[in-house]
Structures are given as structure tokens and as C-alpha cells.
Amino acid sequence: MPVKQVARSRPEVRGLGMTSQRARDRLIERLQGEGIRDRRVLDTLRQLPRHLFIDEALASRAYEDTALPIGRGQTISQPYVVARMTEVLIEHALPARVLEIGTGSGYQCAVLATLVEQVYTVERIDELLRNARRRFRKLGLDNIRSRHDDGRLGWPEEAPFDAIMVTAAGTDLENTLLDQLAPGGVLVAPVGPPGRQELLRVRSTDQGWQREILAAVSFVPLLGGVV
């Protein structure tokens, strides 16, 4: 299945120099070298303008494989991590409805929105959520619903989801989220204290929850309350 294309008529979406298509192509080569294999994931990272998800002052670094600050003490995840988490989320089956916790810049959400039918995303910092929504509109991504709330609660009114991706690290995996997974669904989340976080994949099977540890990772913390 081909990935959904974003609106590219505006010059700032296409980019120039350090934000050009060539810069994106080089990032994709690097991700392939690091083991990212899923064609759909590579195709969508190749087309998405990551430079529009960060402050203009940092735009020249958008296609380095590194996390970058997005304000309010938060970061846009490293492209490799975005690619890998997306890959493991869609590996066994392409989910139709996906819940993301931690909208942040909106980049991971945009990646998901080009691959699946409908994305739901929750962010606790209102200012970040507003910026992300502007980016979704600019790119013509109209299959994203977003909510300003504590994502540890999930989005019960819209549950169950075929897949859930958490992009901030809790000390434990919340049952509240697992309970919002559809049968056969998959959840990917970083879990653990700073310095000892692991990326987990949990699959809901006929025999119960199947947990796998995928990698050591470093994410900002999953915090309570909204601001």
C-alpha cells in the first residue's frame, strides 16, 4: 500500500539547501544503514518535511539523525527512533485506528497519519498541541484528531484502538492504556526511569498480553496533569 502524500505545493514544505529533498534522501540512506527496512516507513520519512516540525532556528539540523528541542523542555524524537517505533507498530498488520500519547511537535503523528486510516493524539502541553495542529493543517493531514489532556488516561470514548504508541516514558505500563487495545492490537511504549528505559511492545493475543523488550531508549518523562 502506498503512503499518503502530504500537500507539497508550498515552497517551505519542499525545503531548500539543508532542508531540501537531498537532505531528506541522505537521512533515509542513513536510516537504511542503521537497519530500517520497512519500505512504507522509509517512503513516508522521505517525503515528510521534518524541518517544519521544529523551530526555524534549528531547521538546518532537521535531517540529522538526532532529537532536537521543541520548547517547554520537550524534544522531537530522533528520526531513527520514530522509524523504528513505527516499523514495530505496523510489522504484523497495518492498524486502521491508532492512538498516540505525547503529540509534541506532531512529527511522529504525521508519520502515522500518512500510513493508517485515522490517528488520535493526546498532548498535555496546550502550546505544543496548538503548534502541532497548525502543522497538520499546512500539510493537509485531515485524518488526525487531537486532544489536550493527560494521555495516561488514553481516549476512552474512542477506544478500542488497533495500535497505541506512547512517546514519553512512564515508570510503569498503564493498564488504562492496555485496556483500550482491540483484540490482536499492539502497543509500543518506552518504560522505566531516566537512564534505564526500555522500549516495550505488548501484543494482545488470545493467550493474554505478550510482552517483548525491543531496545534501550531515552525519552522525556510521561507526566501527570495538563498545562
Please report, as ranges, the residues that interact with ligand SAH according to CB under 6 A: 74-77, 101-102, 104-105, 107-108, 122-125, 128, 150-152, 167-168, 220, 222-223
Catalytic residue among 20, 60, 77, 146: 77
Q: Which residues are 123's β-sheet partners?
A: 148
From residue 156, how far is each of 42, 145, 152, 179, 223 by CA, in Å?
Answer: 32, 14, 11, 9, 19
Run of H or E residues at 71: strand 68-71
Minimum CB–partner distance for residue 77 and ligand SAH (Å) = 5
13 or 76: whose CB is closer to ligand SAH? 76
Rounded-to-integer distance, Cα 124 and Cα 60, Å: 28
Q: Cell 525491543 maps to which residue?
A: 214
| 218 flagged as catalytic | no
Rg of the chain, C-alpha, whole Å: 16
What 3-state class would DSSP assign to 38?
Answer: coil
Minimum CB–partner distance for residue 54 and ligand SAH (Å) = 9
What 3-state class would DSSP assign to 168?
Answer: coil
Minimum CB–partner distance for residue 151 and ligand SAH (Å) = 3
Residues 6 or more apart from 215 whose CB is under 8 A from it? Answer: 84, 198, 199
3 or 128: whose CB is closer to ligand SAH? 128
151 or 185: whose CB is closer to ligand SAH? 151
- HSE-CB at 15 with a 13 A cutoff on CA atoms is 23
Residue nearest to ligand SAH as judged by C-beta position: 104
143 or 184: whose CB is closer to ligand SAH? 143
Count of other CB atoms within 10 angstroms of residue 72: 12
Minimum CB–partner distance for residue 132 and ligand SAH (Å) = 8
Q: Which residues are catalytic?
A: 77
